[in-house]
A and B are shown apart, each in its own frame.
Chain A
Amino acid sequence: MSAVLYDEPGPQARRRILFGSVVGGVVLAAGLLWLILKLASEGIFDSDRWDVFSDAVVWESFGRAWWATVRAAGVAGILALLMAVVLAVWRMAKNPVLRIPGTIVVELLRGMPLLILILFLLLGFGLTSFRALVLGLTLYNGAIIAEILRAGINSLPAGQSEAAYAIGLTRGQTLRTILLPQAVRRMLPSIVSQLVVLLKDTSLGFIVAYVELLRTARLNADFYGSRYIFSFFFIAAGLYIMTNFAVSRVAVWLERRGTTKAAGRAPVLVKPDANI
C-alpha cells in the first residue's frame, strides 16, 4: 500500500524511520497519557462511576437496547434492499414517462437529510417512532443502494445485454436474469458498507425517542444519576463500534472473495467514499 511512494528503505533511511517512529510514538503516547490523566482527574476511573454495572438490570437494559438497534437495522436493511431493486428498475425504464418520475423520486430521497425524512413520517404521517425510523431508513438507503445497483449495471460490458436480447429475452427478463445478478455480486462490498451506514443511522432513533442504545444510555443516566453518563456512553458506543466493526469485516471479506470469484473479475467500487 505505502510502497507506492517510496522504495524499500536502506540502512540510513531505516534509522531515520525508526527515529521518526519512536518520536511519533512518544508524542502520541504522551497525548494519550495526558487524556487518561485528565479523565482520571475528573474521577472517571473511580469505582463510584462504574459500580452501577454490578446491577443486572443495567445490563438487561443495554441488551434490550442492542436488540432494538439491530432489529430496526435488520428490518430496514431487508426492506431497503427490496426497495432498491424496485427503484433501480424504475430509474432504468426505457420509457421516459416512467423514467423521469423515478429519477426525481430517487434524487429527492437522496438529497434530503434522513432526519427530515424521519420527522416527516413521525409528525406528518403520525407513525410510531419505530415505524418512522424503519421506513425513513428504508426510503433513504433504498434510494442510495438503487444508485449503487444502477452503477453496477452500467459497469457491465454491453455484450451482456446485447447477447440477452439476441437470444430473445425481453428487457425485464434481461434485467432480472442477466444484469441484476451480476450487478449485485459486483457491488456487494459497496452494498454492505451502505448497510453499515444504515446500522449507524439507527442512532437517529435517539432523536425521535426510539429506545435504542444511545437513548438507553441517556435514560439510564437520568435514572441513576448523571455522574454515570460517561460510563453509560462508553458501553453504548462500544456496542455500536463492535457491531459495526463486525459488519464492516464482512464487507472486507466479501471484497477479497469478490476479487477472485464474483463475475470473474474485480468488483468495481463506484465512489468508494460516498458511504458516509
Chain B
Amino acid sequence: MDAVLDNLPLYWQGFRTTLTLTLLSAVFALILGTILGAFRVSPIPSLRAFGLAYVELVRNTPLTAVFFFAVFVMPRLGVVLDFYITAVVALSVYTAAFVCEAVRSGVNSVGVGQAEAARSIGLTFSQTLRTVILPQAFRTVIPPLINIFIALTKNTSIAGAFFVGELFNVGRRLANDRGDAVLWVLAGVAVFYLFITIPAGLLAGYVERKVAFAR
C-alpha cells in the first residue's frame, strides 16, 4: 500500500499523460474519422474505395503493430518524432478507422424515407445532409463513439510500452523497483484507469437511453 502512497506524484504525472494522450488522440481521430466516414457515404466511387481500404487495412492490423511501425520502422525511413507525438499519431490513425465505421453506420441508420422526403421537397444534397440526415445520425453515433473513446483510453496503455511516460509505463517501472509490492503497485494503476473508464461507461449507458428514440 505504501508503495502506492509514496509514489503518488509519479502516478499523478502518469495519469495526466494518459489523460492528455487520450484527449489529443480522440480529437484527431474524430476529425480524421469523420472525413473518412464522409468518404464512405459519398457518391464518388474513388473516395468510397479509399475509405473502405483504409478501414479494412487498419481494423485488421493490431494496434501494437501500428506502434511498432511508428516507433521502430519510421525512424529508419527518416521520420524521427518525439515518442509522445508518435503515440498520438498511432492512436489517432488506429481509432479513426473505428470512428469512420460509427459515422457510416450512423448515417445508414437514418431511414431512407427521410432523405427521400427531403429531396422531394427540393432540398439539395448538402441541405439534406446538414438539416435532415446529420442531426439524426448524430444521436445514433454518440453512444458507440463514447465506447470507442473508452477503448482508446485503455489503448493508451500500449503507448506506455513504447516509451511514453503514462500510467502503464509508471506501473511497470514501479513494479520493477518495488518487487515486494507488485500487486499493490499494479492495483494502483488499475484504479486510475477504472477512474476514467467506469464513469465513461456509465455515461455511455445514460446517453444511450437518453437519445434513444423510436423509429
Query: A interface vs B, CB < 8 Å?
Result: 1-7, 9, 13, 17, 20-22, 24-25, 28, 38-39, 42, 44, 107-108, 110-116, 119-120, 123-124, 196, 200-204, 206-207, 214, 217-218, 221, 226-227, 229-230, 233, 236-237, 240-241, 244-245, 248, 271-274, 276
Q: Are A214 and B68 in contact (CB under 8 A)?
A: yes
- Shortest B39–chain A CB gap in Å is 9
* Count of interface residues, chain B, beta-carbon cutoff 8 Å: 69
Q: Which residues of B contact A241 (CB under 8 A)?
A: 57, 60-61
Mark out the residues of chain B between 18 and 73 whose CB falls within 8 Å of any chain A CB in the assembled complex. 41-48, 50, 56-57, 59-65, 68-69, 72-73
Within the assembled complex, what's the spacing in Å between the Cα atoms of A123 and B98? 32
User: Do A229 and B62 touch across chains, with their CB atoms under 8 A apart?
Assistant: no
Interface flag for B151 (CB, 8 Å):
yes
B43 touches A42 (CB 8 A): no
**Which residues of B are at the interface with A, using a C-beta cutoff of 8 A?**
41-48, 50, 56-57, 59-65, 68-69, 72-73, 76-78, 95, 98, 101-102, 105, 107-108, 110, 112, 115, 119, 125, 128-129, 133, 143-145, 147-148, 151-158, 160-161, 168, 171-172, 175, 182-183, 186, 189-190, 193-194, 197-198, 201
Question: In the complex, are the beta carbons of B72 and A21 less than 8 A apart?
Answer: no
CB A233 to nearest CB in B, in angstroms, measures 5
Q: Are A113 and B168 in contact (CB under 8 A)?
A: yes
When chains A and B are docked, how far (Å) is the Cα of A207 from the Cα of B119? 53
CA distance A274 to B200 in the complex (A): 13
Known: A42-B78, A124-B183. A112 touches B60 (CB 8 A): no
A112 touches B68 (CB 8 A): no
With A111-B201, A271-B143 already in contact, the answer to whether A276 and B186 are too (CB < 8 A) is no
In the complex, the answer to whether B105 meets A123 with C-beta atoms within 8 Å is no
**Do residues B157 and A116 form an inter-chain contact, with CB atoms below 8 A?**
yes
Compute how far the CA of A56 lies from the CA of B63 in the bound complex, rounded to whole angstroms: 29
**Contact indicator B65/A240 (Cβ below 8 Å):** yes
Q: Contacts A4-B110, A24-B44, A119-B175 given; 5 further ones with Cβ under 8 A?
A: A20-B47, A116-B157, A120-B190, A271-B143, A276-B148
